[in-house]
Structure 1
Amino acid sequence: MISNPTLCALQFAYEGHSFEENFATLSSLVSQTPDHGIVLAPELCLSGYSYDRMHEAAAFSHNMLPKLAKLSHLKTLGLTLIERKENCFFNTFHLFCDGHLVYTQAKAKLFALGDEMRYFHAGKLEDIRIVQIEGIKIAVLICFELRFPALWERIKGADVILVPAYWGKQRKDHFETLGSALAIADQSYVICANSSDDSMAASSGIITPFGEAYRDDQKSVLTHAFDRHEIQTMRRYINIGLA
């Protein structure tokens, strides 16, 4: 069990770059994070949405799985990838821990404004749940899913909630407000990792159970210590049934 890992949000631009360049960027940033950290990368950070190259993006992502597992040596690493199953495409979160793929979850709430429904199949809402990794309860909401408070209820009790995103600049305030509200409502740490492409909001960071937000649009790697006592204190004094 890792009692107090470092929480890490990655933030970088990847649209217009080759898949190989994006993997190299991801690899470089992950190497800058401390051992025993929980590291989150932005949504589809290897391929972008690549609607005109879905088969290629899915094949590349699949081929990168062993390398992503290797990147997670002495770390926990999360990101979403374009995944192909039975001629259908999914935007699937992959969680690696110390060299192994330990959890997957397909995006269940697709973003109509971004044409996701035309290209992706939706995952199952019942797959949105808490998983325990090295003694820490982790849950995931993928980008647009952050807008649904009913999903917040499904994952109450998580210690850390991961939000990989490709969130537009025009809705920057929404991203920040919802991320902070989720941390306060669920009394948990929230890691938000968003793209810093020109049209994207950036706003990546870590929010504490008290709602204190540590964000910086200029940084590629943002870190904050996980403190289980902070979760316990919040849940004990502001008792909503999670203590």
Structure 2
Amino acid sequence: MQTDLQIAIIQKDLVWENAIKNKAKLDVLLEDIQNVDVIILPEMFTTGFSMVPKPLAEDMNGETVDWMQQKAAHFDAAVVGSIIINNKGRYYNRMLFVHPKGKIETYDKRHTFTLAGEHKAYTSGKNKLIVDYKGWKICPLICYDLRFPVWSRNVEEYDLLIYVANWPIPRINAWKTLLKARAIENMSYCIGVNRVGVDTNGYEYNGNSMAIDFLGNELTEVVENEEKIIYATLSKNKLRNVRTKLPFLEDKDQFTIH
């Protein structure tokens, strides 16, 4: 088990519906990364938050999955981010957790964003994912999932929540508040990775990506309107000590999600 986990949060502008340009820009941005365990990219990092999946979707043998495996091997780090996946004619906003040796674990976004019509273009996921990585239990979720605390409830004793997003400026205060709420109520580290820039629909994004500890304290600087790699160190020992002193999770309500 690894007691400390080194995280690289990739806050980036996204070229609209252009996987080739987005990966080329990431190739440059990631050049100087060293000695990290996890690299986290935004939601739909190859396309932006597009509602026309058919011409953009890849399959699990596609170029982006291969690119993520190459990066994971090169940096000897897990690479995490969501892309548009076509599975038997259904389209998914799918989070990929790519391990350094190439193993892939997936999570399909459960709460599709009805305000943008995501529920019409994409199939909702049904299963929560808990990744076991270097002795850490990690729960990866996507954007709109952040608003639904029941789905993220820590019944698996996970150590880290990850949210990747395209979360626009008008609702950015909710983003910051809810990330802290999810960390506090689940006694878990929580990382939110948001994009910057303006998409083709005119929606503006200012980042505010961050890492938060199990008590709601910010561990990273808040960076707005800037492409940047933000680093965070998470301590398993600190998490265990606080959970021992403050065993709030033992008093949680018991329920089943259908």
Shift in CA distance, 156/202, structure 1 to aligned 2, threshold 3 Å: farther
Tell me the equivalent position of 2:83: 81
Q: Aligned pair count?
A: 240
Tell me the equivalent position of 1:152: 152
CA distance in 2, matches of 1:229, 1:156: 18
Q: TM-score, normalised by structure 1?
A: 0.91
Q: CA RMSD in A?
A: 2.0
Shift in CA distance, 60/20, structure 1 to aligned 2, threshold 3 Å: farther
CA distance in 2, matches of 1:187, 1:201: 27
- 1:9 paired with 2:9, answer yes
Structure 1 runs (4+) greater than 4 angstroms displaced: none
Tell me the equivalent position of 1:205: 210
- The alpha-carbon deviation at position 156 of structure 1 amounts to 5.3
Counterpart amino acid of residue 151 in structure 1? W
Tell me the equivalent position of 1:223: 231
Shift in CA distance, 34/5, structure 1 to aligned 2, threshold 3 Å: farther
Which one has the bigger helix percentage? 1
Tell me the equivalent position of 2:246: 238
- The alpha-carbon deviation at position 240 of structure 1 amounts to 1.2
CA distance in 2, matches of 1:226, 1:16: 33
Tell me the equivalent position of 1:165: 165
CA distance in 1, matches of 2:23, 2:155: 30
Counterpart amino acid of residue 180 in structure 2? S
Shift in CA distance, 2/161, structure 1 to aligned 2, threshold 3 Å: same
- The alpha-carbon deviation at position 154 of structure 1 amounts to 4.6
Counterpart amino acid of residue 33 in structure 1? I
Shift in CA distance, 111/128, structure 1 to aligned 2, threshold 3 Å: same
Shift in CA distance, 161/30, structure 1 to aligned 2, threshold 3 Å: farther
CA distance in 1, matches of 2:173, 2:31: 30
CA distance in 1, matches of 2:57, 2:187: 36
Any idea what SS the aligned residue of 2:129 has? coil
Tell me the equivalent position of 1:90: 92
- 1:55 paired with 2:54, answer yes
- 1:182 paired with 2:190, answer no
- 1:42 paired with 2:32, answer no
Task: Map Cα deviations across residues 5-40 of structure 1 (whole Å, 9 max, x no partner).
Answer: 212211111143732110122233333333342121
Unaligned runs of 5+ in 2: 199-203, 252-258
CA distance in 1, matches of 2:142, 2:163: 5
CA distance in 1, matches of 2:179, 2:120: 27
- The alpha-carbon deviation at position 219 of structure 1 amounts to 5.0
Counterpart amino acid of residue 45 in structure 2? C
Q: TM-score, normalised by structure 2?
A: 0.86
CA distance in 1, matches of 2:104, 2:206: 30
Any idea what SS the aligned residue of 1:167 has? coil
Percent of aligned pairs sharing the same letter: 20
CA distance in 2, matches of 1:88, 1:67: 22
1:117 counterpart (115, 119, 137): 119
CA distance in 2, matches of 1:128, 1:233: 27
